[in-house]
């Protein structure tokens, strides 16, 4: 038996070169320092993405993507289909956790300036994925086509309408017409289950390859300290040490995910009535609360320009600066301390946290 | 190789030809895809909609009812003095439907806390412009709602 096993292993190894992969993982060293914890976020995101890629298609077995049937089919998934409630809730919570971990991954890499040379493209692909994940979350919560989805669709598709010149086209493209309706649902469905996941998969492949090629980024402060003390930064092999940590983290995450799904199953609001006012206290999902709060605060007119346009243009400009951080943060690129960008990152994080909290509690 | 009389070399010519062909192939693909994605025709708004007087009479003073004006939701209000006023029910900020509050006699949008007075004027919160107003006129036993009013706010269309 033992000999047979060895033979099978040998045969597989010859064809799939598993040994080479494990060797590679063993040779790959991950630096160990006080910021090592942030290295775990990528693997968590990967695990959550895989959960979404499994639960999503399963939900499609029963979800009927049309304006007349969507709401009813989600209701059926929740009450009639055995364990439908569990699968939908897992999909719902996994998306929430994915966005949460994506925020942590984003802010941590931003604060330690992991975008420094030669990791510019890892940063750009990461930012594209971040936007895709947010858009996936947004398109996902409109699919039940309930009341909340209707107002989220109205507000969310109206906002890009404020972009100068192309706004009207973007709005029409997203809505599939002048108003939110049956066509909008079809478009959001196509985006959520087709376009966005495939795009995410493609960019993810590039991101992972780049991260493997360059290795983990070490924060400048730690590099400098090691240089001063003429010490080498300690490192551990990826396999088995970090794979083991990732596995344990993943297990805890899955435990948390199922606990949330069982204790707080995802909800379904009331059915859409195009002639009903927006319910009092209607709010977007937590990950857009900060945008909601900023839009609520902005005065009707700022320097004679409509508040909506000012708000959206402002947010887009901040996003653009963050997106291009590796190309505008010259100091970091020269491996110097860059207090301006540290402040920018800290302010962004504070605004995000404070606005989210205010949006949530008030 | 470039002969004296020629504007460009043979290599440049063929390189241009290849890039040109690639661009035209891309255009051949992009055009139908773009047309496909933007297929939806803009629906024209109707010139007027009607409501029966029986329906109108059901509306108590200081209360409101929604009506469909083409693809737009509209809101009809009977004021305390008995006048009828009609507006587009879409908030001018980000397109949510507004609600008539009979206590404060204002229209409220719950999405971002926008307020309009009984004449549709934006009075508080983020809405940048008033609610577009419709004209309400009785013709026999029906009430004809036409809009938007001459010189009033234009209805936002995509």
Interface of B with A (CB under 8 A): 37-38, 40, 42-43, 66-68, 71-73, 89, 91, 93-99, 108-113, 122, 125-128, 157-158
Q: Which helix (H) or strand (E) holds B69?
A: strand B63-69
Same domain, B86 and B35: no
Question: How many domains does one find in chain B?
Answer: 2
Residue in B93, B97, B126 nearest the CB of A277: B97
B128: chain A residues, CB-CB within 8 Å:
300-301, 306-308
B82 domain residue, yes or no: yes
Q: Are residues B56 and B131 in the same domain?
A: yes
DSSP structure class, residue B110: T
Same domain as B52, residue B8 = no
| Residue B110 falls inside a structural domain | yes
Q: Specify the 3-state DSSP secondary structure of A31.
A: strand
pLDDT in tens, A240-254: 889 999 999 999 999
Neighbours of A115 (CB within 10 A): 25
Q: Are residues B33 and B59 in the same domain?
A: no
Residues in CB range of A153: below 8 A, 6 or more apart? A142, A175, A180, A184, A188
Same domain assignment for residues B109 and B140? yes
Task: Enumerate the domain spans of chain A.
Answer: 32-361
B139 and B64 in one domain? yes
Range picked from A41-45, B3-7, B144-148 for highest mean pLDDT: A41-45
Give ipTM to 2 decimals. 0.73
A154–B94 CB contact, under 8 Å: yes
Instruction: Provide the pLDDT for residue B156.
Output: 52
Q: Which residue has the higher pLDDT, A54 or B154?
A: A54
Residue B7 shares a structural domain with residue B72: no
Whether B3 and B54 map to the same domain: the answer is no
pLDDT score at B1: 66
Q: Which of A172, A176, A275 sits opposite B68 (nearest CB)?
A: A275
Burial class (CB in 10 A: 0-12, 13-18, 19+), B150: exposed
Bridge partners of A302? A305
Instruction: List the domain range (segments joined by +) for residue B65.
Output: 48-146
In the CATH scheme, what architecture does the domain A32-361 have?
Up-down Bundle (1.20)
Q: In the prediction, which pLDDT does A152 show? A: 92
- Residue B125, domain member (yes or no): yes
Residues of A in contact with B98 (CB under 8 A): 277-278
Residue B100 sits in a domain of what CATH number?
A: 2.102.10.10
H helix runs in A28-83, sequence order:
41-59, 70-79
Residue A173 C-alpha, separation from nearest chain B C-alpha, in angstroms: 6
Give tens-digit pLDDT for A76-91.
999 999 999 999 999 9
Quick one: B61 and B29 in the same domain?
no
This prediction has a pTM of 0.87
Q: Are residues B25 and B91 in the same domain?
A: no
Residues B61 and B94 placed together within one structural domain of the fold: yes
- Confidence label for B152 from pLDDT (cuts 50, 70 and 90): very low
Q: For chain A, what is the mean pLDDT? A: 92
Question: B77 and B28: one domain?
Answer: no
């Amino acid at each position: 038996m033992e000999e047979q096993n060895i033979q099978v292993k040998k045969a597989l190894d010859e064809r799939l070169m598993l040994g080479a992969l494990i060797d590679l993982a063993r040779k790959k060293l991950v630096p160990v320092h006080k910021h090592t914890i942030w290295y775990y976020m990528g693997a968590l995101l990967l695990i959550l993405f895989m959960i979404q890629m499994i639960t999503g298609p399963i939900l499609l077995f029963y979800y009927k993507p049309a304006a007349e049937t969507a709401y009813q089919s989600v209701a059926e998934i929740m009450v009639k289909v055995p364990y439908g409630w569990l699968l939908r809730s897992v999909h719902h919570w996994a998306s929430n956790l994915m966005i949460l971990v994506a925020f942590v991954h984003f802010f941590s890499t931003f604060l330690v300036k992991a975008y420094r040379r030669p990791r510019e493209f890892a940063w750009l692909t990461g930012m594209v994925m971040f936007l895709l994940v947010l858009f996936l979350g947004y398109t996902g919560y409109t699919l039940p086509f309930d009341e909340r989805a209707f107002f989220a669709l109205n507000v969310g598709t109206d906002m890009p309408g404020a972009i100068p010149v192309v706004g009207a086209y973007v709005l029409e493209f997203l809505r599939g017409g002048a108003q939110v309706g049956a066509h909008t649902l079809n478009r959001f469905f196509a985006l959520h289950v087709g376009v966005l996941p495939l795009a995410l998969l493609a960019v993810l492949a590039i991101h992972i390859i780049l991260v493997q090629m360059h290795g983990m980024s070490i924060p400048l402060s730690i590099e400098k300290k090691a240089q001063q003390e003429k010490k080498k930064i300690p490192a551990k092999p990826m396999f088995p040490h970090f794979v083991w940590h990732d596995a344990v983290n993943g297990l805890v995450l899955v435990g948390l995910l199922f606990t949330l799904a069982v204790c707080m199953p995802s909800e379904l609001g009331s059915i859409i009535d195009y002639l009903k006012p927006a319910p009092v206290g209607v709010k977007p999902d937590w990950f857009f609360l900060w945008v909601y709060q900023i839009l609520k605060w902005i005065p009707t007119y700022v320097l004679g320009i409509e508040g909506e346009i000012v708000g959206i243009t402002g947010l887009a400009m901040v996003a653009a600066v963050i997106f291009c951080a590796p190309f505008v943060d010259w100091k970091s690129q020269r491996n110097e301390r860059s207090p301006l960008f540290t402040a920018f990152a800290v302010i962004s994080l504070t605004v995000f946290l404070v606005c989210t909290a205010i949006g949530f509690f008030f | 190789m470039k002969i004296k009389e020629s504007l460009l070399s043979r290599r440049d010519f063929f390189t241009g030809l290849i890039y040109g062909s690639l661009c035209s192939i891309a255009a051949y693909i992009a055009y139908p895809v773009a047309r496909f994605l933007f297929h939806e025709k803009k629906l024209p708004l109707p010139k007027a909609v009607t409501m029966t007087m029986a329906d109108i009479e059901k509306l108590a003073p200081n209360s409101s009812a929604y009506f469909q004006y083409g693809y737009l939701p509209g809101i009809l209000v009977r004021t305390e003095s008995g006048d009828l006023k009609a507006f587009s029910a879409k908030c001018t900020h980000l397109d949510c439907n507004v609600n008539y509050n009979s206590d404060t006699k204002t229209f409220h949008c719950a999405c971002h806390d926008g307020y309009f007075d009984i004449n549709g004027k934006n009075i508080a919160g983020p809405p940048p412009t008033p609610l577009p107003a419709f004209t309400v006129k009785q013709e026999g036993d029906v009430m004809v709602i036409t809009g938007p009013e001459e010189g009033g706010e234009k209805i936002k269309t995509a």
